[in-house]
Each structure stands twice: as structure tokens, then as C-alpha cells.
Structure 1
């Protein structure tokens, strides 16, 4: 038991191809986005204004003892602070709002895309990994818009505006202030590269954790039945340890970088104080300028310290975007180009030289041809892996054929509009899946056109009314996750009701009675006979006794039709079907 671990590395910080794709989600909100850009520009302009006003207040009013002018300047300063606070609020809220509505749109589009994917895609992709894409990776994109690109642009503009004012006020003191800048840039670059690696490790560890937990919680019964708890626990501890170590690496890098950045900033401020104080003593520099430069440095170093985080946020957002777009651009969706939307089907089915493989040319079905007439019941039998379930999956287009055609009422199945085709084909599977919801919602699947009366009528038809009415709340009884509070037979009966409530013209039963007790099987067999009246039916049955009344039995072996006929005819041939029949009789006797 185990999943292939994911190991994805970050790409370029600015991937224009990915950013262009992201912009299509920004486009519906471009007016607000442009407003965010404007607020970003305003913040960049406002950043150096406060130290500049303080400098003017000290040198032009405090030093000269102008109290009235100082009061006026304080009004300007308070007004500036209020304006800055308002702009900051608008910028923070708007960037967060844009991030949230965009990830809502992306998550919705991603889930809608997954709903239309072929089952083959889910066969090959761990569910936990898809959960990571739809939740964690999409959430990372929120940071791209709220803390990534916009903040990086704002920080860079702020640095430019502060530098411009500093050079304008005193270019010599500015050069002294920037002496420690190369040290900060080098340490920031090293920090960014180290944290980028740890972030990659964290993202991969989260994906691996999700995949592991999803698979093992789903298969908990197998783990417990085969006494694998300790072994799987050790595996989980190993994966969890990788996750912890990845996080601790990033914590270590942060704990080193920020003190180093503070020391470099303190050295820079010390140099400014030393050089500026000398100028003040020599009467070549005003006190207000010196004080403003200390404030400028604090404003200047902060964006540089933060920009490493911003770049890593943007980089991880680009990685997450690439993963998400890899799904959105996957062409594994079932083509729904058909336009045929009949109100009713007659129910004739024809397989014409059908070949099918899940992987390349590893053929599961080979040159399959047979016909099912309207109202006829046909049974598919064969050993495990013979291709029975694959055959019926092709009728509802859960998969498409590689070669050959399947026709319903003389028209290829791909000429039908997909939802119309599936509405007319009722499928009852051996492994019944129930959602954590009421019986009514599990039967109707949220279809508002199906009334409670229709549900109970279908329940009457398959003999499920009695057990439903005995449950607390009846149709409103919550079956919990995967229908865990119901027996196998009860879940199977609900699946029959679910199929019958849509009144399909074609019924497909895939081992529908193999997991139920004899009493429930007799109940279902009676229901099946009612269900099949006037309908085309294809039955896959493990117990050959359940298909003896079928008008035609098709025997599959290794993907090929080896025999075809009625129960009596096939027994007389003393071929493959007769062997299967004899084997089951021996099993029943031994049992």
C-alpha cells in the first residue's frame, strides 16, 4: 500500500505565461484591480511624506520657535496620517477581496472541470492530490493577489520614491545610508533561495500527506482486517516527519534572516547618526534632516526585508497556478458534442466491432459485437477481468471506445447529448456509493423535479418502502458518510430506487445482488422483474442462478465473446458457460 510521492520544484519567479492565464480571472474585476493599482501608487507616494513633513517641522518651525507654524504643520501631519490610514485600509481590503473572489472563481471552474473528466483520469490520479489542488493550491493563489504581485509592485515603488526624496534632501547622507545595502541584498537573496526550497518541500509534503490520508482513511477496513495498523502508522509518521522537517527548515531560515537584517539595518542607522551628527556639529546639516533620514532608513529597509517573502509567495503561487492549469488544460474530458436529445428511447443497443483499452493497446475488449433488442434482457457472464463491467461502462460513456461503435436506437452513443444519454440509462452498481446526506437527497441527488411521492412510488416498486419507513425520519434519515449506518442490502435497495426514480428505458445491473443476503436477493429479484418489464436490460451477475430467465446470455473470456445463447442452450453445448455453472454448483454444495 502506498502512493507515488509528489515532488514539484518551483520555476521562474515571473512566469509570464502563467501570469497571463491568471489575468483572465482578474479581467471580470479589472476596474477594482485598477483601483488597487492606484491605491498602491498612492501608498508609494505617501510613504516618504511623513519623514519629509517632520523634517520641515523641526528645521523650519521648532528650530525657529514658530509655534503657530508648528501647529499648522501638525494639522498637515495628522491629515497625512489619516489619509495614509484610509488608503492603507482600502488597499488591504481591496487586495484581499480580489484575491478571494478570484480563488472562488478558480476553485469553481476547477471543480466544474473535474466533474466532466473521464473516469480514466481519476483511475490514474490520487484523490488526495486533487483535493490539494482544489483547496491548498487554490488558497495559495489568494496570497498571490493579496500579498504577492501587488505588494511587490508597491514595495518597489515605495523604494524608488523614498530613494528619490532622500537624494533630493541630501545625496551625501543618502550614499552613507546605503553603505550596508549590499549586505542586506545578499542576505535577502540567500534567504529567498533557501526558503524557496523549504516552501517546495512543504507543498510537496502537504500533497503527499493529503494523498496518504485520503487513501488510508478510505481503505481503513482493509488496514484493520489485515492487521496493518502499526505498519501504516509508521508510514504516516515518516511522511509527517518530512512535513515537520520542511516547516522547521523554513522556521530556521526566518529565525536567522530577520535578526541579521535587523543588525544590518542598525549598522546603517548607526552610520547615518555618526556621519549626520558630525555634520550637525559642523553646522553643515540640520537636525531635522538627520532625524528624517533615520525614519527614511526604517521605511527603506522594511520593504527589502519583506520583498524576499513576497517573491517566495509569488513563486509558490506560480507553481500552484501551473498545477491548477495543468488540470484545467487536461483534455481528458468526455466530448459532449452530440446534439441528439430524444424525450424517449426505444432501447435497442448494438455493439459493432468494439475494441477498448484503459492503457494504450492493452485490450480489455476485443472486437465485441452483439445486439440487444427493445424490451430484451441480456446477461453478461464471465470470470473476473473478462470485460463485463467495461462493456456496460461504454454504454453510458463513462469511457469511450478505441475502435468500433456502440449504437442506441440506431444512433452512435456519442451523437447523444451526454446528460440526455445518461438520463435514459439507469445503472445499479455492485459498490453502492451514498453521500453523507438524507435518503431522499441520495435518491434524487438534489434534482428538484423529483417529488417525495415519486421516490416512494419507486421505493414501492423495488420493495424498499418498508425499511425506509422503519428508519427514524424515513426519507429524511441521514445515512452518514458512504451510507455507513445502513446494511449492504439496504444500500443496494436505495441504489435501485435511485435508478428507478428517473424511469429509464435501459436498465444496467452490475453485480447488483452479489453482496446481499438470500432474503434481500429474493426481494430484489422480484423488483428486477418489475423493473425490466417494457425495458431493455443488461445484467452482469456473479450468481448464474439470477440470469437463467434472460433471453440471451453472452459469455466473455479475456475480452472476447466465446459463447452466446440461452441458459439451456449454453448448458447443452457443454462449453465455457457450462463449466462456470458446474463450478458454482460445486461451490454451493461445499458451502
Structure 2
């Protein structure tokens, strides 16, 4: 076995280690089942020979009863083996699913920007299901098949040497051929899985954007792409299937030749009187039984090819490494945290810098308002601060500490961000507000929501904080969603808060109420407020104006407002004129 294949199998088999106790029970059941399968033809042989020799009826009834007991017991064991095999495979591969999901959640945003959720679902679940199917049947059928083959051939050597040799040659040739071509369809199966993942990605992407698809009449275009991708899945799947069935077709031809040879030899030995009629039946029965494990091995070669493609894709996914490396420091000093950007440069790709030589300082407890045109770099600044991306050069310090020196949980415990979009999870209203943190008390939740203006909405729910919410966000209005996101962040009691367009979806009355609440809640922390609406920035201490990734202006809000030549003052004048118009 090639070294790479050994590595793949050893990597996968470590997931079986936690279920080794169940594996031992399964092995015992397999051996018992194999023994019963080998016993039944022996009982039938004795029955035929006893009947042909004029044996007593009582002996025939005993043999028939023994056959029935063995058959029923074997069927019960077969059910137990199938159940235990599937149980083992799902226990092992569920751990792999968990590892894949956990690994994906730790990868940086550059990776996730290149992958659709539909594609990732196929990678985490679809590929592993192929591995699970292989595990479930591999343990039962492959090990069971080899044990049964050994039993059949071993016994046949005690019955008739020439026939046993023919059966052994057939078995060895079949197994050697399957081993030789076991990787024949792996690449095609991998291509099939990739085509399937792309199809799932298209479906997920279009369903997520269903409003745009319907409103702009893009349904025919989407269906055209869907049909083209389905055709690709079909063509690649057909090619993979044709390569995978070669082992099965080959074993069918070899078995036909082997059965013909065995039956001709058996009939000849019976006619010359060297074997009895019961022995002839036994030879025929064992020959038929020989086909079952060979056919199972052929099926498992197909499953192996699909499973190996899943293994390769899973290992490929696990080999991805996040560019965001954890630091060593696990804590920041108490109280509001200062913020410093020193010579920060950042780009999503090398051709287009997004942030260029950004330098500014915000003291603990101060509030900084950031304004600028769309694409000026406002949101990118918050993303690099939260280490969703690594900067190209420069240093970002929070509380005087380089954020690359901090462990990510330590950063996220003290820095909170409110985005324009809110995601609801399947769970109670309480779980969604606290993000499943059971340590947050109901009293604190209700106090915070009261100050943010969300309490009335909560009281209107049928079961209050125990109300069940569904995934998505359809149960919230745009304004409620914004308040919901604010509540989530402030329940964590952060020391530095980033508000990205905090009032973009609120009406004037709600915005005024919200501004008062935010002022109270931010009294103990440092605030970064990104806004288009200048009214949102009336209470900030400093203003930063961004343009084309550079700082066009930075200073005290009052001073900039009174300077008629400042960008901020001109924006204020323009805003007032628009309100009067």
C-alpha cells in the first residue's frame, strides 16, 4: 500500500479508537455469523445423505429443526451486526464532522469569502457521509467477507482438493484485481463531489438572494445555470460510476467461469462415485456462498473509491490554515480601553489597497466618529480591529497591547461590534440575546433591553424571554433587529464598542431614544461609531473623515465643526441644506 494511502487510512482509523469496545463486540458477532453460515450447508448435506440412505424420520426432523434454529439465529445476528456497524460508523464520522466544522469556524474570512455556505455544507456533511457509508459496510462486509472466504476455502480443502484449488484461484484473482484497480475511480469520484458542492453552492446563493432574483426577473438565468450545473453533475457522476463498477463486472465474469468449472468437476466426481449427492450439493452451496463475499468486496471497492475521495477532500479542508494566529496574552487591564493605529496598511488583494498608512489614537473613554463615502475603508477598519483579517503592515493596539499578541477570545471578550445585519439562531429569545451564555441573568437582560427600547417588544412576545425564535431574522423588523444587535453587544459589557451604522434602519423617534440609551451604556467604555448620518455623531469626542483608504481629517469634533475649511464642517452644511430642501 502506498505511503500516502497508509497515511490516509491511519488518519481516518484514529476516529475509530473511541469505539474500539463496540468494534470487539462486532467482531465476535461477525465470527459467530460466519460460523452459522458455514454450518447450514453441512446440515443440509447430512439431511440429503440421510434421506438418500433411507434414514429414520426422527433424524431428518432433528436436522431440519437444527437448520431452522441456525437460520433464525443467524438472521438475528445479521440484524445486530448491521445496527452495530452503522452505530460505529456514525459515532466515528460524527466526530469528524465536528472537527471539520470547528476547523472551518476557525478559518479566516479570506477563506470564507471564497466558499459559499452550500459548498461548505457539502464538504462537512456530504463528503463525510460517503466515509460513513464506507465505514458502516466496510467493517461488516469486508472483514466478514474475508472470514467467510477463509472458512469456505479451508473446509473445501478437506472435501475435494481440485475443486478447492479452482475456488482458491478464482478468489485470489478476484481480490488481486480489485486491489490493483481500487483507485481507478477516486479522482472521478472527487470531481463528482466537487460538481455536487458547486451545485449546492448555487442553490444556497440563489435562495439567499431570492428577493433580488424574483424582483429583477432573473429566474430564467438562474434556472439556466442550474441546468448546466446539473448536467456537469450528471456527466461527472456517470463517468465516476462507470469506473467504479468495473470491479463488480469483472467479478461477475470470473464467478461465471469458476462456477462452470466447479460444477463440471463436481458432477464428474459424483458420477464416478467419489462424492455423495449431499457432498455435491455442499460443493454447489459453498460455490454460491463464495460469490457473496466476492461481490461484497467488489461493492466495497466502489464505496472505497467514493470514501477515499471524501477522505482526500476532508484532509484537504483540514490542511487549510488560518492566517489569523492566536497570541499568548490572555487578558487586558480593566476599564475602558484605548485604541491606537500606527502605520496600518491593509488590502483584500494585492492589486487594490483598502487602508493606507492609517495613524490615529483614541484615549480610554473617548468616542470616535468615522465618516466617509462608500468604499472609503470604514468597515474594513473595524474588521482589522477585530482581527477578521490580518493587516499588511503596521500595528493596532488595544489597551496599549498589540492585538496580534492577544488570544482571540481575550480580544473578543473586551471588544464588541454591532453590525447592520442581525442573525437569529434557532432557540429561545434569551439564548439569542445572550448568544447561549447561561451566566447572564434575566434581570440584567431586561434592564438592558429597557434602556435600549426593546423591552416593550419582548413583553409583547407570547412567552417573554422563553419565546422560541427561528433561524434567520424574519420575526424582527429592521429597527427591532438593530436594537437586538445592540442589546447583544452591551450584555457582554465590553470595554471597547464598534457601532457600524447603528441607526441606519431606525426612524427619527426611535433613533433619539436609542441615542440616549447608547450614551448611558457607553459611559464606561470607549466607542467607535461608523455612520453616514451626521446626527448620529453629535455626542462623539473626535471625528475621522476617510477617503480612498486614507485619513483626510482627524480631530476634536467641536474644533472641526467650527473650522469652515474642514471636511466635517462642509458635510454638516450640506446635511443641513438637504434637511431644509
Give the TM interval when normalised to the shorter protein: 0.7 to 0.9
Q: Distance in 2 between matches of 1:86 and 1:14?
A: 39
Q: Indicate the larger mover: 84-93 or 372-381.
A: 84-93
1:418-457 equivalences in 2 (<5 Å):
418-457=408-447
Equivalent of 2:377 in 370, 374, 387: 387
Per-residue deviation, 1:62: 3.6
When residues 251 and 370 of structure 1 are mapped into structure 2, their CA distance, relative to the original with a 3 A threshold, is: closer
Cα distance in structure 1, aligned partners of 2:274 and 2:74: 33
1:525-536 alignment runs, 5 A limit? 525-536=515-526
Deviations along 1:471-509, one digit per CA (max 9) or x if unpaired, are: 444444455442213221111011111122222222210
Q: Answer whether contact 1:189 1:308 (CA < 8 A) is retained.
A: no
Q: Check 1:558–1:307 CA distance in 2 against 1; reply closer, same or farther (3 A cut).
A: same
The match for 1:132 among 122, 125, 133 is: 122
Q: 1:489 aligns with which of 458, 479, 482?
A: 479
Structure 2 residue aligned with 1:574: 565
Q: 1:85-484 counterparts in 2 under 5 A?
A: 85=75, 87-148=77-138, 151-174=141-164, 199-200=189-190, 202-243=192-233, 269=259, 271-332=261-322, 334-342=324-332, 344-359=334-349, 362-484=352-474
Gaps of 5+ in 2: none
**Cross-structure match for 1:515:** 505
TM-score (norm: length of structure 1): 0.85
User: Given the alignment of the two structures, is residue 565 of structure 1 paired with residue 560 of structure 2, yes or no?
Assistant: no
Q: Distance in 2 between matches of 1:337 and 1:149?
A: 43
1:15 maps to what in 2? 5
Moved more, 376-385 or 90-99: 90-99
- Contact 1:43–1:158 (Cα < 8 Å) also in 2: no
Question: Structure 2 CA distance, aligned partners of 1:352 and 1:31?
Answer: 57
Distance 1:249 1:397, change over 3 A: closer
The equivalent position to 1:556 in structure 2, one of 528, 546, 551, is 546
2:183/2:305 contact within 8 Å kept: no
Query: What per-residue deviation string (whole Å, max 9, x for no partner) do you get for residues 379-418 of structure 1?
Result: 1222222222222223333333333322222222344443
Which deviations, in whole Å up to 9, do the C-alpha atoms of 1:493-549 show, x marking residues without a partner? Answer: 111111222222222101111233333322322222222223211110112232143
- Deviation string 1:39-81 (CA, Å, 9 cap, x unpaired) is 445555554443344335544x344334366566556645654
Q: Tell me if the contact between 1:205 and 1:242 (Cα under 8 Å) persists in the aligned partners.
A: yes
**Counterpart secondary structure, 1:458:** helix
Q: Deviations over 1:78-102 (max 9, x none)?
A: 5654564455344323222211111
Counterpart of 2:275 in 1: which secondary structure? Answer: coil
2:524 aligns to what SS in structure 1? coil
Aligned to 1:64: 53
Is the 1:352–1:405 contact (alpha carbons within 8 Å) kept by the matching residues of 2?
Answer: yes
2:492 maps to 1:502:
yes
Please list the CA deviations of residues 172-196 of structure 1 after superposition, one character each: whole Å capped at 9, or x if unmatched.
3346668988998899899988876
User: What is the deviation of 1:126?
Assistant: 1.6
Contact kept? 2:425, 2:432, Cα under 8 Å: yes
Classify 1:95/1:369 alpha carbon distance in 2 versus 1 (closer, same or farther; 3 Å).
Answer: same
Shift of 1:589: 6.0
- Counterpart CA distance in 2 for 1:130 and 1:373 is 41
Distance 2:400 2:168 in 1: 81
- CA contact 1:432–1:492 (8 Å) conserved in 2: yes
Moved more, 304-313 or 269-278: 269-278
* In structure 1, C-alpha distance between the alignment counterparts of 2:240 and 2:413, rounded to whole Å: 52
2:194 and 2:389 mapped to 1: Cα distance?
A: 31
* Stretch deviating more after TM superposition (139-148 or 562-571): 562-571
CA distance in 2, matches of 1:363, 1:298: 71
TM-score, normalization by structure 2:
0.87
8 Å Cα contact 1:347/1:375 also seen in 2:
yes
Give, in angstroms, the shift of residue 110 of structure 1: 2.3
**Per-residue CA shift, 1:256-292, capped at 9, x if unaligned?**
9989977875665455444433432332332122211
Secondary structure of the corresponding residue to residue 208 of structure 1? helix
Contact 1:192–1:309 (CA under 8 A) maintained in structure 2: no
**362 and 24 in structure 1: CA distance in 2 versus 1, 3 angstrom threshold:** farther
- Report the CA distance shift for 1:314/1:420 in structure 2 as closer, same or farther (over 3 A): same
Aligned equivalent of 1:539: 529
In 2, Cα distance between equivalents of 1:414 and 1:252: 52
CA-based RMSD = 3.7
Q: Distance in 1 between matches of 2:409 and 2:172?
A: 63
Indicate conservation of the 8 Å contact 2:182/2:305, yes or no: no
Shift of 1:22: 1.2
Distance 1:218 1:583, change over 3 A: farther
CA pair 142-578 structure 1, distance change in 2 beyond 3 A: same
**How many Å separate the matches in 2 of 1:251 and 1:355?**
51
Stretch deviating more after TM superposition (106-115 or 261-270): 261-270
Q: Is the 8 A contact 1:439 1:478 kept in 2?
A: yes
